[in-house]
Amino acid sequence: MTADHQHTMRAKIELLLQRDAEEELDRRQEEDDEFSEIYDDGRLRLPAGVELPEELPAGLRVLYALTAHPQFGDLRFGSHHDFRPQRLIDFAGKVIDAGNTLTIGRVREQSIVLDLDTEAVFIFDFLYFRHGLDSGFVLRCDSVAEFISTVALGPRYPYIHGPHETWREPWWLTDPWYIYLKELGFA
């Protein structure tokens, strides 16, 4: 299954690069006043790729070979120099034993975390109790490639900020990145 997700991730990113998607979304932002009022930054960034150390999971290495520290809508991946060990805590401040974890990005105030032992990737919300969630684990995938192909570039993007029931307004319906994913047939 991981090979399929890696193939899908690669194909989707290559299509975005071929279509100059970064420039297209920047153009849309400049032309649409409502877009620029809601989002003060671009919705897609695909910097030139870099080579990562062999000890990091294959899916992360493939992603960063295609594009170093990308941004997909609200998902912002950090520079590989900024990857840091991450201790997860519950509402009482107790450390959750979640394995050997590394923060690799952000989703607003939430962290994108990689479990180096299992290669699972998840979004963790340290303020989950304030957001009405039962757990800080907002969304989980078995690999980086699955996370990119099904969440960042796929139909699970609307769940990056938690279950739909926790939102009064369906923010994803007006998110230019999600709209673009739907136009491309990714979502």
Check: CB of residue 140 under 8 Å from CB of residue 115.
Answer: no
Check: CB of residue 63 under 8 Å from CB of residue 70.
Answer: yes
Mean pLDDT of the chain: 89
Enter the DSSP assignment of 169. S
Check: CB of residue 120 under 8 Å from CB of residue 143.
Answer: yes
105-109, 130-134, 153-157: least confidently modelled range? 130-134
Res 66: pLDDT = 97
Average pLDDT over residues 51-78: 96
More confident residue, 16 or 97: 16
Range of the domain at 154: 2-184
Number of domains in the chain: 1
The yes-or-no verdict on residue 5 having pLDDT over 70 is yes
Question: Of all residues in the chain, what percent carry a pLDDT higher than 70?
Answer: 91
Q: Which two tokens stand for residue 159?
A: 């769940």
Res 1: pLDDT = 52
Res 82: pLDDT = 93
Alpha-helix residue ranges (DSSP H) falling in the chain = 2-18, 21-31, 33-38, 58-66, 144-147, 176-184
What is the three-class DSSP state of 151? Answer: helix
123 forms beta bridges with 112, 139
